[in-house]
Structure 1
Amino acid sequence: MLQFLDQLPFSILIVFAIFMLLAPFHPMPHVVEKILMLKNGQLHRPIDIFDLLFHLAPLLLLGLKWWLSQGRP
């Protein structure tokens, strides 16, 4: 897994993370919708939790890649 992450350029991860955070573009991005549901205590269905994690996954991979790149010489 880490070798795969090392081979992925930051630029691709950044573009993919932005795209997934904003998708779908109309009427409201899923991440915003799911975070509002979480704030209101309405995020109960497994499909909604999976959807939130699915849309946040590229951002988490980007954060992991950045964190690992900081600790290596």
Structure 2
Amino acid sequence: MDKRCVNRVTTGAMLGGAVGGAVGAVYGTYEAFAYKVPGLLKVRHIGRATVTSSALFGLFLGAGSLLQCGRR
């Protein structure tokens, strides 16, 4: 793989991580209040949703960037 392809995959993974983190934080906050998670467990719940969503979005966007990079 050339330098441009590696840069494209890395950028895709970082962008996916940022978007996934934002979506996970919003969804985790909604879910924590909707299910009435008690006390400081809300912070753990929101953090877990944020990290999980960030990792998944980053993985899939990075993999998609890798597939697109291989076509050219």
The alignment's TM-score, normalised by the length of structure 2, stands at 0.31
Give 1 or 2 for the bigger CA radius of gyration.
2
- Report 1 or 2 for greater relative contact order, CA contacts < 8 Å, sequence distance ≥ 6: 2
* Structure number having the greater helix percentage: 2
